[in-house]
Amino acid sequence: MRYPFDKPIPKISSPYGWRFHPIEKIRKHHNGVDYAVEIGRPVRAIAAGKVIYAGPSTIKFPNGEPGGAGYIVRLSHKINKEWITSSYYHLKKGSIQAAEIKVGDVVLEGEKLGESGNTGESTGPHLHFEIQRGKRYVYTNNGTRFTEPTSYIKTQIALDKLK
């Protein structure tokens, strides 16, 4: 288990939990964390897993560009007998294809998935990163099934050291 970036790990600009959404202007659960990072920094798989989605958000802006989460990679992992998904949002346009990541691929821990960007509904360059418990990703707007990702990673790294 690792973080989605090589060191130094970027600062978290928006933590997990309830917040006032900066674009929608409503109270909404933030299902992950936002890492404030420049465009083009390599984004890496937190653990070995299978690519279950790689491409643009299905939400579109009027000009046809992806809205919502922009360009996305989502992985399914089995970690210590538990299924989770990890999701990487707002990736730089073209960076998923450049990394040759596609649905069905098996990736290794630390493998490059794409590059940080500013695509979709975004207030500036960042990576939105989520971990959800369960084998299949299910969107919820209240945090159900999601877990605070930095605590989860820290715990798994500590458990790995005990093995």
Domains defined for the chain, CATH in brackets: 12-162 (2.70.70.10)
Is the confidence at residue 153, as pLDDT, over 80?
yes
Residue 108 CA to residue 69 CA, distance in Å, equals: 24
DSSP state of 65: S
The conformation of residue 2, written as its DSSP 8-state character, comes to -
**23 pLDDT more than 80:** no
Q: What is the mean pLDDT of residues 18-28?
A: 78
| pLDDT tier for residue 101 given thresholds of 50, 70 and 90 | very high
Statement: residue 46 has pLDDT above 90? yes
**pTM recorded for the entire structure:** 0.94
17: left (phi over 0), alpha (psi -120 to 50) or beta: left
Provide mean pLDDT across the span 14-26.
Answer: 82
Angle formed at CA 129 by CA 125 and CA 130, multiple of 5 degrees: 155
Instruction: Convert the pLDDT of each residue in 61-87 to its tens digit.
Output: 999 889 889 999 999 999 999 999 999
CB burial class (10 A; 0-12, 13-18, 19+) of residue 36? Answer: middle
Q: Are strands 32-36 and 12-14 parallel, antiparallel or unpaired?
A: antiparallel
The highest-confidence range among 21-25, 59-63, 84-88, by mean pLDDT, is 84-88
- Token code pair at residue 149: 């990702």
Over residues 124-136, the mean pLDDT reads 95
Neighbours of 47 (CB within 10 A): 19
pLDDT given at position 97: 93
Cα(80)–Cα(58) distance, integer angstroms: 32
Q: How confident is the model at residue 17 (pLDDT cuts 50, 70, 90)?
A: confident
